[in-house]
Amino acid sequence: MCGPLRDGGPTVSRLLAFLQLRKELATVKQLLASGGARALAVVMLLPFAGIYPSMVATGALSSLSSAVALGVVVFGGPAAVAIVLAELDTTKTRGLQLVCLIGAVQLPAAAISAAIATASRAAIWVDGFAALTMIVLFVIAFEIVNTSTPQWVPSLQTVGYVLVCLLFLDVIVSVARGEVTLLRPGNGLVAWVWTVATTERVLIFRSVVAAVAGLSLVAATVVSRSLLLDHIIVQRFKIGCAIVLCLIGLEVAGIVTNAPTLTVTVISLVLAVNVDEIGGK
């Protein structure tokens, strides 16, 4: 029995790799077993379904501070914090493992979104999408503040689908009118990818920083969950995040410049602390 296994080195290697993959998939399945874990993954990854790329394409990452504020609000905002506090009833170790699992998807997705957004600027109507992005951010802010959202307010998932469809339609129209030429494999695709990665390093870096900021907030919430449950008023943080989203929308649309988004985010976190509860103890 041992002879064939010793002689079949590649076969044994593939078998071990397969077993290792099954083990890793089982670990992932265990981390996502609870409803709170799945809800947290959906909330943190859903912005990539149209909303985040459109914000990047319309200039939401204009500075490092805006990138941090955007990441905190979009990826680790009140929805993610509320899920961790209310639904993610697990150990700190497993909670951090879940955050790392989400980050393994979120970080490359953020970099790719920045690269795609950069390339899509030549194919989309930037001013129109800037105004649309502002409206979308105001709708999201409305949903964050209001616990019961009216039926006429579209869901975050619906908004993402609409933005994706509009982006595709805009690109198709631009290609049909000859404003943009599609690049085919073998016709400089590798050179194009390298050009985007080198010329837009700052934007890709800011996009990754935004994802790291959101992940950091969620990880900090997981670590200090028991403390936050006693001393943080989530509704106050929600209001602050809604204000930040509105400021980002106004900045994207060009209505205001240099909006203090990061300052407002930090102040929101400070004001969310229940001082009366601390004083009482």
Q: Percent of the chain scored above 90 by pLDDT?
A: 6
Q: How far apart are the first and last CA of the chain?
A: 68
pLDDT higher than threshold 70 for residue 103? yes
Q: Which tens digits make up the pLDDT trace of 166-181?
A: 767 766 766 666 655 5
Q: Report the pLDDT value the prediction gives residue 1, as an integer from 0 to 100.
A: 46
Q: Kindly report the number of other CB atoms within 10 A of residue 206's CB atom.
A: 24
Mean pLDDT of the chain: 74
Measured in whole angstroms, the distance separating CA 77 from the mean position of its chain's CA atoms is: 10
pLDDT at 213: 92
The answer on pLDDT for 182 being more than 60 is: no
pLDDT for residue 107: 93
Q: Return the higher-pLDDT residue of 219 and 53.
A: 219
| CA–CA dist 40, 30 (Å, integer) | 14
pLDDT at 171: 64
Domain definitions of the chain by residue range:
36-280
What pLDDT, on a 0 to 100 scale, did the predictor assign at position 148? 64
Judged against a pLDDT cut of 50, whether residue 5 lies above it is answered with: no
CB 234 within 8 A of CB 242: no
